[in-house]
Structure 1
Amino acid sequence: MLSKVDQLIHEFDKVVNEPWTSTLSGQERIWFLVYDPADQRKVSLRIGEFETSTIRANKKWQSISFKTCFPEWMSSHDYRDEYFSNPEYIVDQLEAEFIPFAIKFLKKRLATLDQDQDTLVALLDVSSLFGFARLSEILKNCDRDFKGRLLIFFPGEFEQNQYRLLDARDGWDYLARPITI
């Protein structure tokens, strides 16, 4: 019997090998690889197998991690010391400053990639945004900045066309394609 991660790789392999049409909108070219948050480490250890599957399908693989997004924003913030002393003060700044920073963070990284219609950009470590910004808000501002497909490694759930990161927030409807087991 295949493990959950093996099943996920198998499902991804089927999707990445389908013909890629260029007539889809940016939102429709986003794929969510949805898995149980408890399997995050197992999935992370096997990222290379998703890359291999992509290359075998004659597509290009690029990746972007959100792991450094919040630390980069915080380290350059004028009031970072005050926020560490009184974390509740940061809440107002998240909406006004961090979300635009996260959008620019992703746009900037997408712009530096060598990508075309056959490129799959893997978006890793989206859980590092949890509690700071809604992934949906970032994606809706960046859906024209990639050319092929955007694959989001998504620890959460997909149910009744709703995506929920880390199973903890209200979900959102999205035109993206789910890849699940």
Structure 2
Amino acid sequence: MNTFDDILAAYTKQVLLPWAADTPPVGRIWVVWYEKALQRRFTGRLGEFEHATQKAGHGWHHLDLAPWFGKWIARHEFFAALVEQPKELRGLLPDIEDALVSDMKGALAACSPNDVLAVDGCGALFGVARISTLISRIADSVPGRLLVGFPGKHSGGVYRLLDARDGWNYHAIPIPPDNAL
């Protein structure tokens, strides 16, 4: 199991590497994966990632997805009815995903090719949106780097959110690197 300091050291090493302007979308996505028990520590010490990024000469932006769904559903026109019949939420999952992609693209639009957009709180979307789908839908919009905080497992190129959902294979750059054969 990696400690927070191991993860931060791996990130620092990655952010110090030169950035090529023609890096394909898959190379602009960095997934910082960590044991789900480290979620609070990761969120609480995210400022250390910001510091490492700025020290490497890059800009920093942050998007916290943890409160996103609560805010979205509270503004929904059928909020009261959905509270009474929560199973009806399943029918809104495509709308939820579209709104989330739109918000993430909005955050990316504020970034330059020299910036990192750090996305935290992915675990709060469990059962609402798939991180793999979100990343796939926004990858072409990433001007600099997208850093995704991922509470779960990574092995052999396969990510498992919260160790609960079936794994998905995405060719992002894992931090820390995957040492599986």
Normalised by the length of structure 2, the TM-score is 0.91
2:48 aligned with 1:52: no
Query: Counterpart of 2:118 in structure 1: which amino acid?
Result: A
Residues 7 and 176 in structure 2, CA contact (< 8 A), matched pair in contact too: yes
Name the SS of the counterpart of 1:144 in structure 2.
Answer: helix
> Percent identity of the aligned residues?
32
Deviation for aligned residue 1:162: 0.6
Residue in 1 aligned with 2:172?
A: 176
The Cα shift of 1:143 comes to 1.1
- Equivalent pairs counted in the alignment come to 176
Which contiguous aligned blocks of 4+ residues in structure 1 show a shift greater than 3 angstroms?
none
Distance 1:110 1:16 in 2: 18
Give the Å deviation of 1:180. 2.0
Equivalent residue runs for 1:107-118 within 5 Å: 107-111=105-109, 113=110, 115-118=111-114
Deviation (angstroms), 1:86: 1.8
Deviations 1:3-22 (A, max 9, x none): 80111111111111111122
Unaligned runs of 5+ in 1: none
Q: Secondary structure at the match of 1:133?
A: coil
Normalization by structure 1: what TM-score? 0.91
Q: Which residue number in structure 2 is paired with residue 28 of structure 1?
A: 27
- Contact 1:164 1:170 survives alignment (8 Å): yes
How far off its partner does 1:74 sit?
Answer: 0.7
Question: Do 2:160 and 2:166's aligned partners in 1 also have CA atoms closer than 8 Å?
Answer: yes
What's the counterpart of residue 123 of structure 1?
A: 119
Q: Which residue of 2 aligns with 1:99?
A: 97
